[in-house]
Amino acid sequence: MKILVTGGAGFIGSYIVKHLLDNNHNVKILDIKEPKIRHKNLEFVKKSILDDIKKDIMGSDAVFHFAALLGVDNSDKKPLETMKINLEGSVNVFKSAIDAGVKNMIYSSSSEVYGEPRELPIKEDSVKGPVSTYGVSKLAAEIYAKAYNQEFGTDIRIVRFFNVYGPGQESNWVVPIFLNKALRNEPITVFGNGNQTRCFTYVEDVAEGVLTVFEKGKSGEAYNIGNNQPTTILELAQIAKEMTKSKSEIIKLGFGKETRLKEREIEYRIPDISKMKALGWQPKVMIKDGVKRILESMKN
């Protein structure tokens, strides 16, 4: 198949592209950043998702939409730019694909759309209540995707990722931050008392999950793609310390204006992945194994 991947030069996108190429698909990356991968079946278009992209999409069998402005803190500082790229850009991708005659799409959304969960584990149809600009922008584009499925008969499937990590992730995310601090024996700081619970999901598992949804998922459905093994932020700091044999001190910063407001923090985030399990997917890489793989990739 011919698949166009927006944001295919990014962290998760590049793993998806590799999996697609390994599965003999032809891939066209549309990104503002040059991809690192080169392959005979890979084409690159340097464009923004805000540009006129109908002609670039034409002839594709499917569009995987991964381009976004990321990061909860980053997007809170740039609310208008976040809405422009994540909402307007997504609507432009969906609408351009529809105009180009492409009906099959995957939209990468986020666990941020749920906000502080009303129930655990979080099911796909659990109440949504994002508390960040980023979360609102991802949910707003989901609502467009569903409306377009209804209006234009498209099949835009939604994948909601839970705290993705792995080799190649930019250094401003929690796993690389903790590992870099530990390797330098510098203090590792956690917000609050570090009891916030996350389910860190290894990027290769995410890529396999996306392909599973593409091949076996139901039309227009949403799927949680996450690990279901909870880890607190304090445990993550301890794992980083232990696995690097570091002398770093772990410091609890508490909450406050200087660090992070308590109201802004999500306490628990654990996905219900039974819908993905029903498609035959489940996460394979648990946190310690994932951290080991990152450390090995840093050595190389």
Which residue in the set 4, 17, 27, 70 belongs to the binding site for ligand NAD (CB under 6 A)? 70
Based on the residue annotation, tell me whether 268 is a catalytic residue of this protein. no
Which residue in the set 5, 20, 68, 210 belongs to the binding site for ligand NAD (CB under 6 A)? 68
Residue with tokens 């996460």: 283
Strands in 33-125 per DSSP E? 42-46, 62-65, 104-110
Binding part of the chain for ligand NAD, among 61-69, 148-156, 253-261, 273-281 by CB under 6 A, reads 61-69
DSSP, res 112: G
Rounded CA separation 62/42 (Å): 15
Q: Does residue number 130 form part of the binding site for ligand NAD (CB under 6 A)?
A: no
Site for ligand NAD in 144-203 (CB under 6 A): 161, 163-164
Q: Say what angle helices 287-299 and 233-243 make with each other, to 10 degrees.
A: 40
Q: 165: how many CB neighbours lie within 10 A of its CB?
A: 25
**Nearest residue to ligand NAD on Cβ basis:** 10
Of 138 and 241, which CB lies nearer to ligand NAD in the complex structure? Answer: 138
Residue 236 is inside which H or E element, if any? Answer: helix 233-243
Q: Does residue number 12 form part of the binding site for ligand NAD (CB under 6 A)?
A: yes
Residue 21: what residue type?
L
Rounded CA separation 198/121 (Å): 11
**Catalytic residue (choose from 134, 144, 148, 223):** 134
Binding site for ligand NAD (CB under 6 A): 6-7, 9-13, 31-33, 48-50, 66-70, 85, 89, 108, 110, 138, 161, 163-164
The catalytic site residues sit at: 134
